[in-house]
Amino acid sequence: DAKTTQPTSMDCAEGRAANLPCNHSTISGNEYVYWYRQIHSQGPQYIIHGLKNNETNEMASLIITEDRKSSTLILPHATLRDTAVYYCIVRVGSGGSARQLTFGSGTQLTVLP
Partner 1 sequence: NAGVTQTPKFRVLKTGQSMTLLCAQDMNHEYMYWYRQDPGMGLRLIHYSVGEGTTAKGEVPDGYNVSRLKKQNFLLGLESAAPSQTSVYFCASSYLGGGSYGYTFGSGTRLTVV
Strands 84-92 and 31-38, by their bridges, are antiparallel
Note whether 97 binds partner 1 by CB under 8 A. yes
Stretch that binds partner 1, among 9-17, 39-47, 66-74, 76-84 (CB under 8 A): 39-47
Note whether 42 binds partner 1 by CB under 8 A. yes
Closest contact distance (angstroms) between CB of 89 and partner 1 is 10
Among 50, 106, 109, 111, binds partner 1 (CB under 8 A): 106
Sheet containing 61-64: give its strands across.
18-23, 70-75, 61-64, 55-56
Among 40, 58, 81, 96, binds partner 1 (CB under 8 A): 96
The CA distances from residue 57 to 7, 65, 111, in Å, are 24, 18, 20
Note whether 57 binds partner 1 by CB under 8 A. no
Contacts for 24 with CB less than 8 Å, ≥ 6 apart: 2, 3, 4, 5, 31, 33, 68, 69, 70, 71, 88, 90
Note whether 34 binds partner 1 by CB under 8 A. yes
Note whether 98 binds partner 1 by CB under 8 A. yes
Q: Which residues of the chain form contacts with partner 1 (CB under 8 A)?
A: 32, 34, 36, 41-46, 49, 87, 92-106
